Amino acid sequence: MPRGDHNRKMSAEQWERVVAEYLAPLPDGTYVGCPTLARKYGVAPNAIDYHLRRSGVSKRCPKESHANGKQCKPITRLPPEGQQPPLCKCGCGTHVKWSRSKNRWLKYVRGHYRPKRAYHRPEWLRREYEQKGRSATDIAAEFDVSVQTIHKALVRAGIPERPHGESLRLSGKVKGENNPAWNGGSSPERQRLYKQGHWREFSQSIYARDGFQCRRCGRPKGRPKSLHAHHLKPWANNPALRFDPDNCVTLCHRCHIWVHSSANVGREFLD
């Protein structure tokens, strides 16, 4: 079917006939639609819509639209019958419209959106985020919004985002006992002792005692560092048992990870 011409010139009399045919009902009570008129006069349907709006003619709702006396396809995704439209969430008291594309009532009237909040103001966001060092997660929790909402506000305000680690450092969450991985400050000492020859000799004696195989799954020694000397009682709070052979067992890399994970419900190899 050939498409209509947007640029075709029509006389004022022809446009008057178009409006009259659009408004006049057919003998069977149906109406002629814009696509039918567009095909009849050889113009685009949008041109018919445009001229009807300029003439002050309101378009019919989908339930009333018919073409050539034949009813169009059934209209779907209509609002429930008898249900009143809700009010706009901005509090203006205006009823919202039904969205056929979303198959639900809209939340806001067009142009009415949620009220401005503090993070919408660039000066407030710059003071809280840059000067006070607050993270986007903290600000989002304060206003009960998603972190992505705060990130978008930072972009609109032209504020560069910090790396996640720097935000934690500024908030003090990674220092000392505030860190979730805090184990009493023994990590630097552990790293220093692990590099000494005494620990290497001690761990080799544990492997030899256990036959160079994992005490949990029986896997033998494979590639380098495939076996670990695991402490039954934690290293951090038991300095007297760090080099006690009775407090250490041989585990493979995979079993060592499993023992320290949440999957170890029965706390095997943990005292």
Picking from 24-28, 36-40, 198-202, 259-263, which range would have the lowest pLDDT averaged per residue? 24-28
Three-state DSSP state, 191: helix
Q: What pLDDT was estimated at residue 1?
A: 37
Residue 239, in any domain of the structure: yes
Q: CA-to-CA distance for 176 and 171, rounded, in angstroms?
A: 12
Q: Is residue 105 located within the same domain as residue 50?
A: no
Tens of pLDDT, residue by residue over 189-242, are: 667 777 777 788 888 999 999 999 999 999 898 887 889 999 998 877 788 888
Which stretch of DSSP H or E encloses residue 98?
strand 98-99
Query: Does pTM top 0.85 for this prediction?
Result: no
Domain containing 81 equals: 77-115
pLDDT of 28 above 90 = no
Domain count, the chain: 4
Q: Which one-letter DSSP state was computed for residue 129?
A: I
Q: Is residue 203 part of a domain?
A: yes
Under a CB-based contact definition with an 8 Å cutoff, are residues 125 and 138 in contact? no
* Phi, psi of 184, deg, nearest 5: 90, 10
The residues facing 248 across adjacent strands are: 231
List pLDDT tens digits, range 161-187: 887 666 666 665 555 566 655 555 556
Residue 3 lies in a domain: no
For residue 173, being part of any structural domain is answered with: yes
| Whether 49 and 18 share a structural domain | yes
Q: Is residue 226 one of the residues assigned to a domain?
A: yes
In a domain, 83, yes or no: yes
- CA distances to 52, 168, 243 from 38, rounded to whole Å, are 12, 64, 92
- Residue 266 confidence (pLDDT) above 80: yes
